[in-house]
Structure 1
Amino acid sequence: MRPVRIALLIAALGASQAQAGMFDDDEARRQIADQRIKTEARFDQQARAQLELASQIQRQADEIARLRGQIETLTYELETAKKRQQDFYLDLDTRLRKFESGAPAPTAAVDGANPANSKPAGDPAKESQDYETALNQFKAAKYKEAAAGFGAFVQKFPDSSLAPNAQYWLGNAWYAQRDCKKAIDAQSVVTSRYADSPKAADAWIAIATCQLDMGKAAEAKKALETVVAKYPNTPAADTARERLKKK
C-alpha cells in the first residue's frame, strides 16, 4: 500500500505543478495582451495628435497663402495707382510745355538798351532735347540717370522755361530712389526760385509726401496748408485739402 500512496502523491504534485505552469502561461499572455492594447492605444493617440498638428499646419499655410495673396493684390493696386498718377503728371507736363511753346518769344532790346547787358538767347532745340532725354529716362524707371539728366539741365539752363519742370522732376527722381532729403531739397528750389511756376504747388505736395514718409507729420501739415493758402484754385490745393481732412 505504501508504494501506491507514494505514487499517488507524486502524481498529485506533478498535476499541481502543471496547473501552476498553465496558470503562469495564461497570466503572461494576459499581460502581453494588456501591454499590446496599451501600446496600440498610445500609438493611436499619437497618430491622432500628429494628424491634428498636420491639419493645423495646413490651415496656417492656407491662411498665410491667403494673406500673401491679399498683400500681392494691394501691392499691385498701389503700384498701379502710382503709375496712373505718374502718367497723369507726365501727360500734364507735356500739355503745359506745348502750351508754353506757343507763347511769343521775348522781343529784342530797343530804345537804347545795351545788348551787351542782355543774356544770350538759349538754344530751344537743345533745351528740349536734353529735357526729353531726362524725362524719357524717368518714364523708363531709370531714376538715377533721370536725376543726373535733370540736374545737368537746371545747371545748364537755369532760366529756361523748362527749368521749373526739370527741377520738379529732379525731386521726383530722387523720391523714386527713396532719398527724401534730396527730394525735398530739389522741390524746395521749385517753391522758392520758381514760386510763380505751375509746378510750385505740385512741389509743395511732393514735399509734404516726403515729410510724411520721414515721420514729420507736423511739417507735412504745414506744407499742405501752404498749398491751400498760396494756390487755392489749383488741383494741388484740392489734393492738399483732401489730405488735411484725413489727418
Structure 2
Amino acid sequence: MFDSRTVIETSASAHGRQAAGDRQPVTLRWLTLACLLLGSSAVVAQDKPTLNNLDSRLDRVERIMDQSLLEQLQRIDSLQQEIRGLRGEIESLNYEIDTLTRRNSDLYADTDRRITDLEEARDSLDLLAGEDGLGSGLLDETAGVGLDETASEPAGVFVAEDGVAVPFANDADFGDGPRPPTGALRDTATQAEKAGYTRAYDLLARGQNDSAVASFDDFLTKYPDGPYSDNAWYWQGEAMYAQRKFDDALRNFGVVVNSFPDSTKVPDARLKIGFALYEQGEYLQARTILTGVQEDYPGRSAAVLARKRLQKMDREGL
C-alpha cells in the first residue's frame, strides 16, 4: 500500500540522486510520481465500502433471513397440522373408548339377563325332563306340596311382608279364569297334561305372549291341582309382565308365593313382584320386597337381580 509519506520519501530520494549526478530527465520523474499517486488513490478507494456495497450486502442478509423465516413458518404450520391431526385421533379414541365402555356395560347386563333366562329355562326343562322327555323333574320339585283344604279365601291372596301391605287379590280378581288350587296337589300328570303345559310354554318361549296367556289359562282351568300348576302360574305371570299387564302379573306371582311355598319358582316370583311394583311406582313396597329377596336367597340369580334393581333405585333417588 502506498501513502503520501512514501511518495515524499521517493521524491526526496529522486532529488538526492539528481544531486549526486543522476541524469534522468525531469519529465520521467514527474510521470513516475504521478503513477505512484494514482496507485495509492486506487488502493485507498478499494479499502473504503461504498453505499452500493452496503445495500448489496443488506439485500443478501435480508434474503437469507426471509428464506429462514419462511422455512420456520412452514415448519410451524406443519407442526400445527400434526397437532390438529393428533387431537382428532385423540377425540376419536376417546369416542371409541366411551363406545366400548357402554358396549361392555350393555353386554354385561345382557349376559346377566341371559344367565337368568337360562336358569329359568333350566328349571322348566327340569320339569319337562324324564324317561319320555316329560314330567319327572316336575314331579320331584312338587312332591309333597299341599295346601289346607279348609282355607276360606283363595290361595292367590297376597300376604303382607314385614308389615308392609302388598297388592291384594280376591276371588273377583280372577274373573272367569282359573283359580288357584285349594287342596293337595297331585303328584302325577297325564300325557295330555304334559303336552298341554309344553304347548303353552313353547308359545311363551317363542315370544307369543298373547297366545301363551290363553294357552296357560286353558291349561290351568283343566289341571288346577296338577304338578305343573306352580310353573304354569309363574310363566303366565311372566307373559303378562311382558305385556305390561302388571296387575295381572302381580296376581299370578302372588299365587306362586302363597299357594306353592315350596316351589322353586318362589324366589323368582317374589323378585318379579318387586319389579312389577317398581313399574307401578310403588317404590317403598318394591324396595321392601326386593330387600327381602336379596337377604333370603344369597347367591341366587334372584338376589343378584334384586340387588341391581335396588342400586338403580338408589341412583334414581327412589
| TM-score, with structure 1 as normaliser | 0.58
Alignment of 1:65-104 (within 5 A): 65-93=96-124, 94-95=126-127, 97-99=138-140
Distance 1:82 1:241 in 2: 9
- Are positions 1:48 and 2:79 aligned together? yes
Q: Which runs of 5+ in 2 are unaligned?
A: 1-49, 128-136, 145-188
Task: Identify the residue that residue 89 of structure 2 maps to in structure 1.
Answer: 58
Q: 1:156 aligns with which of 210, 218, 224?
A: 218
Q: 2:259 aligns with which of 176, 186, 196?
A: 196
Distance 1:32 1:127, change over 3 A: farther
- How far the C-alpha of 1:132 sits from its partner, in A, is 1.7
Supply the AA of the counterpart residue of 1:206. Answer: K
Greater RCO, CA 8 A, separation 6+: 2
Render the CA deviation track for 1:93-142: whole Å, top value 9, x for unaligned.
Answer: 33462336878xxxxxxxxxxxxxxxxxxx95444334323433544xx3
Distance 1:219 1:86 in 2: 25
Supply the AA of the counterpart residue of 2:285. Answer: E
Supply the AA of the counterpart residue of 2:271. Answer: I
- Are positions 1:205 and 2:271 aligned together? yes
Q: Percent identity?
A: 15
Distance 2:199 2:219 in 1: 15
Q: Quick check: which has more Rg, 1 or 2? A: 2
Q: How many residues align?
A: 200
More helix by share: 1
- How far the C-alpha of 1:205 sits from its partner, in A, is 0.5
- Are positions 1:172 and 2:238 aligned together? yes
Supply the AA of the counterpart residue of 2:140. Answer: F
Distance 1:60 1:241 in 2: 36
Supply the AA of the counterpart residue of 1:207. Answer: I
Distance 1:203 1:45 in 2: 69
8 Å Cα contact 2:249/2:276 also seen in 1: no
Distance 1:43 1:216 in 2: 68
8 Å Cα contact 1:208/1:224 also seen in 2: yes
Render the CA deviation track for 1:28-58: whole Å, top value 9, x for unaligned.
Answer: 5544443333332222112112212222332
Task: Identify the residue that residue 66 of structure 2 maps to in structure 1.
Answer: 35
Task: Identify the residue that residue 289 of structure 2 maps to in structure 1.
Answer: 223
8 Å Cα contact 1:138/1:173 also seen in 2: yes
8 Å Cα contact 1:187/1:204 also seen in 2: no
Q: Which runs of 5+ in 1 are unaligned?
A: 1-18, 104-122
Task: Identify the residue that residue 23 of structure 2 maps to in structure 1.
Answer: none
Render the CA deviation track for 1:56-78: whole Å, top value 9, x for unaligned.
Answer: 33234334434444444443343
Distance 1:234 1:30 in 2: 86
Q: Secondary structure at the match of 1:46?
A: helix
Supply the AA of the counterpart residue of 1:166. Answer: A
Distance 1:201 1:215, change over 3 A: same
- How far the C-alpha of 1:196 sits from its partner, in A, is 1.1
